[in-house]
Amino acid sequence: MKYYSLNHNSKSTLFQDAVIRGLASDRGLYFPEKIPKLPQSFFDNIENMSIPDIAYKIIKPYVGNQILKEKLMEIVSETLDFDFPIVEITDNIAALELFQGPTLAFKDVGARFMARSLAHLNKDKNENITVLVATSGDTGGAVANGFLGVKGVNVVILYPKGKVSEIQEKQLTTLGQNITALEVDGVFDDCQEMVKTAFLDNGLSSLNLTSANSINVARWLPQMFYYFIGYRSLKHKNKKLVFSVPSGNFGNVCAGIMGTQMGLPIDHFIASTNVNDAVPRYLETGAYHPKATIQTISNAMDVGNPSNFIRIQKIFNNDVVKMKKILSGYRYNDEETKKALKEIYDLNGYVADPHGAVGYLGLKEFLADQKQDFFGVFLETAHPVKFLDSVKKTLKLDVEIPERLKSTLSKEKVSIPIEDYSELKAYLLN
């Protein structure tokens, strides 16, 4: 499998180079030259296969021979060594919990897969790699945990000052070792732009920079696993399936759509956003006009200009009519999100997080307009404990802190404040 730049101004490359580079030399995102189709027999027997076996068959065509079978199987098995429960909320709505991993966020899957793949691909090289990553909340903690102690890899995380939750901040600022956190005076889009600028700065070429954001194919593609796992659990319902995805940088919902291009029988996707709504507006108007980021209680979705949307556009060849047959988009404000938290709790005592609540709202709105018999799934992308202030104030209850988080919360935050790209570059060079 080769990957080409969506800016179409650099050479195609193989998986290893795409992972290590992160971004093409022309600043474009890498995209596979073809999307493989899985045989019908795979889906006919999926309920009889283990999750690692399913994941191996999904990802193998994208990796090719650059990671051999035994090692790739080891990587996916270690990546997916936790549960993905489905909790039914009503007779036609369920939550798919993606937060059972080590940092209590869906990004554990992509971060763990990328960390293990990069460590393997770099093991015979006598050089260090610097992983540069921007986070709006959960990416930082997942990447920090995934790469902690990985030989030959240094991780630098940029996060927006005052715009992540306390737990999220502690998860990315307290690990030490090969992990450094830079606290940016700005919003997520500022962090993301600095990362992209650094990749193309010839003055930093000696650092072997790569990204662990979902712009990196090794972070983005494994997110397909969620949807195959969800289908495996729900196949017996014999209903049309719709997945509602809380969307920020749009890597997750893009991966789901990639799954359908491989043959996965999911009938529709919903991009549920907060008021940072560039994509829902595009689906309404056919014009893509990003706006400055607005801060919300669903902070991991506070992305004004989502990087991965260009990949979705590519899948549909920039045809918004075709896109709308597969993808719907809805947006919700903080007050609506809080009401949804209450509604979900009142339905069956389920405590969602603000991102899952936005996903629930999008799903509910979509289902209300359908005459066909759908079963809907919204993704719970983070444990509600990560958003204690919002959840406690809204539901008037305490959320138990998992044991594995208690030691993190007791540690002192260590971060380096920066204001602009020049300060980032100076830090990296020094």
Query: Within the chain, how many helices (H) and strands (E) appear?
Result: 19, 14
- Among candidate residues 107, 163, 196, 364, the one labeled active-site is 107
Asked if residues 183 and 161 have their Cβ atoms less than 8 Å apart, the reply is: yes
Structure tokens at 326: 């597969």
Neighbour-count burial for 275-314, b at 16+ CB within 10 Å, e otherwise: bbbbbbbbbeeeebebeebeebbbbbbbbbbbbbbbbbbe
Structure tokens at 108: 């554990």
Asked if residues 265 and 95 have their Cβ atoms less than 8 Å apart, the reply is: no
Question: Is residue 393 within a helix (H) or strand (E), and if so which, with residue range?
Answer: helix 388-395
Among 120, 36, 130, 135, smallest CA distance to 76 is for: 120
Asked if residues 421 and 176 have their Cβ atoms less than 8 Å apart, the reply is: no
Q: Tell the residue number behind the tokens 């180079």, with chain if given.
A: 17
Among 52, 54, 58, 8, smallest CA distance to 33 is for: 8
Residue 11 is among the residues annotated as catalytic for this protein:
no
DSSP 3-state assignment of 246?
Answer: strand
Helix extents (H) in 67-150: 69-79, 107-121, 138-147
Q: Tell the residue number behind the tokens 């194919």, with chain if given.
A: 217
Asked if residues 354 and 297 have their Cβ atoms less than 8 Å apart, the reply is: yes
Helix extents (H) in 136-245: 138-147, 166-173, 188-199, 217-220, 224-234
Task: Give how far Cα 249 sits from Cα of 16, 97, 205, 277, Å.
Answer: 23, 19, 26, 11
DSSP 3-state assignment of 171?
Answer: helix
Q: Which residues contact 124 (CB under 8 A, 6 or more apart)?
A: none
Q: How far apart, in whole angstroms, are the C-alpha atoms of residue 289 and residue 277?
A: 10
Q: Tell the residue number behind the tokens 């018999």, with chain if given.
A: 373
Structure tokens at 184: 């940016």
Active site residues: 107
